[in-house]
Structure 1
Amino acid sequence: MDILHRTSESVCMGLCRILGTSQQVVMRRDMTDISDTIDIQKAGAIVGCKMKNGSYKEGFRLKGSDVDTMFWLPDNRVIWNMSQTQFYNLHKHTVILSDSSESPPGYMLLWLPMERASDKVLAATVRDHSRLIVSSSKYREIMCPSVHPNSKPHGPCASGVLGDIIEYDHAHCFVSDFWPSSASSWRFRCHLWPHPQIVNDIIRKGCHVVAIGPKLENHEDIEWRISFSLAEQILVRSMNHCQFLVYGLLKLFLKEVLNNGLSEDDKLLCSYHMKMAVFWVLQHNTVLAWGPHNLLQCFWISFKVILKWVYEGVCPNFFIPENNMFLFKIYGAAQQKLFIRLYGLYEKGLVECLLHISSISPYVRSAQLNPRLSICTDEHVLISEAEFDGELFREIIRNNYAQSTSDLRLCMKVLHIVEQLIGSFLTQYQVVMLQKITATVLQSTAFILHNLQTNTRVNKQMYVTDRNFCFMLKLAAKFGFVSDMLHIAMYYYKTFRYKEAIFAIEMTNSRKYPDKERNAKAAGEKSYSTKMTQTVAGIIPLENEICYIDELTPEQRSSSRNGKILLHVPPFVLLHMLEVLCYRHVEPMKVKTALENLQSLVTCDQGVFVPRHVRDISWEILGICQQVTGNLQAALSSYQQSLAQKQFNKIHTATEGRIQTICSSL
């Protein structure tokens, strides 16, 4: 084996560690798909359709990458000619007709032939002679704050940061069930890649149009761009893992070399250009063998395609080649400067170029300096079962947040969708994802219905409804995480059954430190469902519009008023809080120990049970428990500590109110 093949295999294994093994990528996609399926099916009068997009949906989890999501109103459909109206009930759907006759390739005008639409769409229209045109810039202005009010415009998207952690881009668009006529020639160009079956699937699923026009005079504010996001997702998923890794390596090269240290305005190339390069290489080099031994050769071919594009100033869109994606962006002095930089890297050669990619360079050096180094190409050895399980459950937590709701109608709708999905083909990862979603929705449903009750008298009807609520919460605990037992404890505390609450608390606490030796021995024998219900304790997301226990109501109100939907509470902080509250009523002698346990957890934990981003609510809860037990000075100190933390939960308004109350009584 020559040195280049050895280096290629070493880099391939390094990329599996950085970007994910094929099993990890499949799992991530399965999780995202099932969450998107629920989001699209529950769309209607209450919420619009939404679907994750971009690198996140493709299966990447690169640090610092944003999460792209597309939003559209379900009753609006873009058509390419009037004959397509026959496929719609015009009393139910609003048809929006496209006109690309005077637009640059990939763009079009949208207008309302019936002059009928929802209020949001009509508010974005402008009259152009006899036609009612939907303005892309007006539509962006109207829709930008609809999901997160503090979002800022960024191209066709509304951008921002969730909880100071996750950057997001929300693109508000329209959907078309038909393939655009301007891309009709694409299917006839696909001889060997992609496969005809994939081509047919892509064309059958149509496309989207996003609210951004070309940077041309009199066009930018009113025109729309065709988005082939669905098609791109299908193409990326049709890649083998080596092809996916080459795409990922190009993204790393862009991030760590070309765009490193540049401002957003100075970044000329983007990930989308890297994706286009891989698509074109796959279509034009069908005899190229994509495998670990020649991964670097495939990367170098893709690199030279980008170099050629920059030299010519032309990056052809894969679906509409006439659409030059460098137009009005890469030209003149900036184009020349970028080409000189790329050509300089090209002259240094493949290996030297790779050494500039900081995350990959160690794998390049180890293969170059150790010719006899044995390189394991079995990706199953690269990640342990425990590491894989950890990522699996993090994905479940991340996707589960999106299904949490305080709307009873949506709870019912999600449960109905889950019931339907259970009868369809599901992967093992999607099964556990649905389990957790079911648990979350059952918990919300139980507390919403309990809070709606007005009859507090003890009678048969009250007994029956209470039994039903308990059944839902116990079912959720059976399906969900270990920490889901705490919803039972909160419900029992809320309904004055302190001994039953303590039993649920003890059950949860007994699994805080699982038998690692027994679990390791049986790990391979356990299903993901069993692992989840027996060993996983996740941060508890409390819906701010649902009252769980009165003691946290001020914090939920503060969080909600400051733009947060959920209050994120570490499970064992909540556990010890409930211990303190319950023992006050049944075993006062144990209150001191419970409070000491809570204080030790909050003050001494190094991020194991109390992650740093939720230390605001953790100190707050310690202060609440100190206050209810009469230690006002200690409570004041804890509240001040809560204010000093990063305000992830946005509870500072409640904290300041509690401090004021204590100061007035000291």
Structure 2
Amino acid sequence: MDFLSENIDAGFQHLCESVFVRLCQIVGTSVQVAIRRETRDIKEMVDRRVADNDNVIEMESGSIREGFRLDGSDLDLMFWPNDHRVIFDMFQSEHYYTEDKTLILSDSSESPPGFTLLELLTPTTYRKVQSACVPMKDRLYISSSIFRQQQQSHWFPGSIGHGPCESGEVGGFEYDLAWCFACDFGPRSASWIDRCHSWPDREVVNEIVRNGCHFVPIGHSLGLHEQEEWRISFSLAEHKLVHSMNHCQFLTYGLLKIFLKEVIDKQSEETNKLLCSYHIKTVIFWVIQQNVVPLWCPQNLLAGFWVCFKLLLKWVYEGICPNFFIPENNLFLSKVHGSAQRKLFLELHGLYEKGLVCLLQSPSISSYMTNVFYNPRLSICTNEDRMISECDHDKELFNEIDRNITYTPQNLDHCIKYLHTIELMIGEPLTQYQVLMLQRITATILQSTAFTLHNMYTNTGLNKQMYIADRMSCHMLKLAARFGCISDMMYIAMFYCKTFRYREALCITDIIKVKLAQPGLMYRRRVDPERYTEAVGGQSWSTKMRQAVVYDITLNNCTCYINELTLEQQSALQNKKVALFIPLFVVLHFVEFLCYRHIDTTLAQTALEELQVLVHHDQGLYVNDLDRDISWEILGICQQMTGNLQAALYSYQQSLIQYPWHTIQNATQMRIQDLHIT
């Protein structure tokens, strides 16, 4: 049944509109998706501009970077050494100063389309690259399989190798980490640019070309040099293409992903691993570019879905899924063939014969479709502004800011570089979400700078310099709190505690407690919508952040905030963990305990008891599961300081059996040994 050749009647329009509304609930409205993308854009923009030549660059890719927050969406991260670059011919070497860049030549003469060998042209100081080199044809090539093994860092327990990635699960979400090499040029074989007549527009094409591509360590299973070959990755180009979709196209992409997971993959065990989300992404790219759907709008959403499904069915029948960027690269070549291909085609054809009714097999969509079937005259509002409340909008924004806000400058020079970068960005054209993100980043960098500056002049014996540094640090922390959120005041309290101004620190914690008792507080996406709207509804996001938003405390492991946590920060840093993430309420009680020990031992005991109740009995309201290792550790430190060694031992043992999110086990073991309990 070809829905494009028919007049779209009112019933079909209602069905499309109902699915559109449901997808906005599952996938997100255009505003929510924009928030997710733009906050991440700013983070990566700041990171790139601050990065030194010998740094490792991080890029988020995959569905989360595209703007999805679907159940089961995994976190995809790509890393590459900033001082290495791949080129496609020797003429491109003229663009680099080889004293600070290691050049690698792509040689695809003997590789299948989309794959290549990488020849090391200039010396490298990167040990893992050196050890991955193998001699071939009187030249030195970087073996993808050896490099992949070398980079297996096992960041989290239970991680395994999966294709070019290190994969695993932590805190309920799955992740893929891939080390790769960057290239500032597009491959000669990428013919897709010549097809760009209607989509994407020329500006997007030019940006993709300027951004180049990457090479991930995996060879083609049918290639001559599988163990040495690298796959050309267009991850950056892909999320640029996805970002250039209109919202109806993006929701259609989301519907295809849901349909794959909830319907296609449920057909049989034999076929449920043959298709993946990358095939779905390839389908939607081709359909949009071929301009088969004349109008992508809510009333036509299912027509777009059906065109994509028919193209997927055709590809499975033919056994050919052409890569969007290099069509000669058949993405089905090593998986969709033989009896499995025939069975998958029959399953998809069975769904096709049912027409759009096959969507009723999707638990996420079916009830909304059924509602329209039973109520054909149902009036459906597709106005996105009326689908999401002000509170939900704000919740999305502040949550996305929180997930992108980890910044860990390593020294004062690095702090200054961050601040200078932010200063230059203030004058650039930014969206309203990006301005708020930049404001939050500024607060974070000021906090790191304040403590870094103080630590530099501690115990120098230079009183005047110490006094000046102290005044500057205090000023930066107060400035950060002025345009930050409620929890940013906690850094002032920590600074006063660190500099022996215990009463001033306690004054700050008292103010924080009053603010935390206010109705309508937004903490970890938890908020009473009515009270939140009553408290700050209609005000600017900057005002809302100052008056109603609470985040947990992040300690940059390159600087000391609380002397009693030095051991934990050093342990984490040795394991390449750049920060400690501590629940706000744990830090609050911890600082109160440390201060009251010098003022009122009774109140110190009260603070300790409140901390103990929180750590022992909290059910995830204030102490996240991933933060339980550091929370038990802090409780143990306090108990050890009071001389309650048995209780401290129990707390340290509890810390050791939690998920090792902060990699502080070495510190915990040292503290247990210091107890001298046999």
Relative to the length of structure 2, the TM-score reads 0.89
Seen in structure 2, the aligned counterparts of structure 1 residues 7 and 587 have a Cα distance that, compared at 3 Å, is same
Is the CA contact (8 Å cut-off) linking 2:652 and 2:672 kept in structure 1? Answer: yes
Deviations 1:177-215 (A, max 9, x none): 2222112x3222222222233333333332222222211
Whole-angstrom distance in 1 between the partners of 2:437 and 2:324:
34
- Higher alpha-carbon deviation: 34-43 or 117-126: 117-126
1:550 aligns with 2:555: no
Is the CA contact (8 Å cut-off) linking 1:242 and 1:295 kept in structure 2? Answer: yes
Whole-angstrom distance in 1 between the partners of 2:94 and 2:673:
65
Equivalence map 1:264-279=2 (5 Å): 267-279=273-285
1:501 maps to amino acid: A
Local SS of the residue matching 1:510: helix
2:442 to 434, 438, 441: 438
Is the CA contact (8 Å cut-off) linking 2:458 and 2:466 kept in structure 1? Answer: no
- Higher alpha-carbon deviation: 560-569 or 188-197: 560-569
Deviations 1:544-572 (A, max 9, x none): 45332233334445545666433221112
Whole-angstrom distance in 1 between the partners of 2:55 and 2:165:
19
Seen in structure 2, the aligned counterparts of structure 1 residues 186 and 633 have a Cα distance that, compared at 3 Å, is closer
2:586 to 556, 573, 581: 573
Whole-angstrom distance in 2 between the partners of 1:68 and 1:645:
25
Is the CA contact (8 Å cut-off) linking 1:158 and 1:169 kept in structure 2? Answer: yes
- Higher alpha-carbon deviation: 203-212 or 117-126: 117-126
Seen in structure 2, the aligned counterparts of structure 1 residues 445 and 133 have a Cα distance that, compared at 3 Å, is same
The residue aligned with 2:180 is 173
The residue aligned with 2:478 is 474
1:362 aligns with 2:386: no
- Higher alpha-carbon deviation: 139-148 or 480-489: 139-148
Local SS of the residue matching 2:309: helix
The residue aligned with 2:58 is 50
Is the CA contact (8 Å cut-off) linking 1:192 and 1:286 kept in structure 2? Answer: no
The residue aligned with 1:541 is 554
Is the CA contact (8 Å cut-off) linking 1:39 and 1:51 kept in structure 2? Answer: no
Seen in structure 2, the aligned counterparts of structure 1 residues 112 and 437 have a Cα distance that, compared at 3 Å, is same
- Higher alpha-carbon deviation: 406-415 or 299-308: 406-415
The residue aligned with 1:224 is 230
Local SS of the residue matching 1:400: coil
Superposition deviation, residue 261 in structure 1 = 10
Superposition deviation, residue 623 in structure 1 = 4.3
1:607 aligns with 2:612: no
Equivalence map 1:394-473=2 (5 Å): 394-401=399-406, 403-453=407-457, 455=459, 457=461, 459-473=463-477
- Higher alpha-carbon deviation: 172-181 or 276-285: 172-181
Superposition deviation, residue 269 in structure 1 = 0.9
2:11 to 3, 15, 18: 3
Seen in structure 2, the aligned counterparts of structure 1 residues 311 and 545 have a Cα distance that, compared at 3 Å, is same
Structure 1 unaligned blocks of 5 or more: none
The residue aligned with 1:381 is 386
Superposition deviation, residue 308 in structure 1 = 1.0
The residue aligned with 2:524 is none
Whole-angstrom distance in 1 between the partners of 2:277 and 2:450:
44
Is the CA contact (8 Å cut-off) linking 1:115 and 1:132 kept in structure 2? Answer: no
Whole-angstrom distance in 1 between the partners of 2:301 and 2:56:
42
Equivalence map 1:123-522=2 (5 Å): 123-145=131-153, 152-161=160-169, 163-183=170-190, 185-259=191-265, 267-351=273-357, 353-401=358-406, 403-453=407-457, 455=459, 457=461, 459-516=463-520, 520-521=533-534
Equivalence map 1:586-601=2 (5 Å): 586-601=599-614
Superposition deviation, residue 407 in structure 1 = 4.4
Is the CA contact (8 Å cut-off) linking 1:144 and 1:172 kept in structure 2? Answer: no
Whole-angstrom distance in 2 between the partners of 1:420 and 1:149:
41
Superposition deviation, residue 592 in structure 1 = 4.3
Whole-angstrom distance in 2 between the partners of 1:371 and 1:108:
55
Is the CA contact (8 Å cut-off) linking 1:164 and 1:648 kept in structure 2? Answer: no
Superposition deviation, residue 9 in structure 1 = 0.9
Whole-angstrom distance in 2 between the partners of 1:7 and 1:60:
23
Local SS of the residue matching 2:362: coil
Seen in structure 2, the aligned counterparts of structure 1 residues 138 and 624 have a Cα distance that, compared at 3 Å, is closer
Whole-angstrom distance in 2 between the partners of 1:107 and 1:281:
25
The residue aligned with 1:532 is 545
Deviations 1:279-329 (A, max 9, x none): 111122355211111211111111111111111110011122111110111
Seen in structure 2, the aligned counterparts of structure 1 residues 118 and 293 have a Cα distance that, compared at 3 Å, is same
Deviations 1:411-444 (A, max 9, x none): 3332222122112111111122122222222222
The residue aligned with 1:33 is 41
User: Number of matched residues?
Assistant: 661
Local SS of the residue matching 1:525: coil
Is the CA contact (8 Å cut-off) linking 1:40 and 1:51 kept in structure 2? Answer: no
Is the CA contact (8 Å cut-off) linking 1:406 and 1:444 kept in structure 2? Answer: no
Whole-angstrom distance in 2 between the partners of 1:116 and 1:641:
44
Is the CA contact (8 Å cut-off) linking 1:619 and 1:638 kept in structure 2? Answer: yes
Whole-angstrom distance in 2 between the partners of 1:559 and 1:154:
26
1:300 maps to amino acid: W
Structure 2 unaligned blocks of 5 or more: 1-8, 521-529
Whole-angstrom distance in 2 between the partners of 1:662 and 1:118:
42
Whole-angstrom distance in 2 between the partners of 1:660 and 1:124:
41
- Higher alpha-carbon deviation: 647-656 or 134-143: 647-656
- Higher alpha-carbon deviation: 388-397 or 368-377: 368-377
- Higher alpha-carbon deviation: 463-472 or 325-334: 463-472
2:497 maps to amino acid: Y
Local SS of the residue matching 2:331: coil
Local SS of the residue matching 2:263: helix
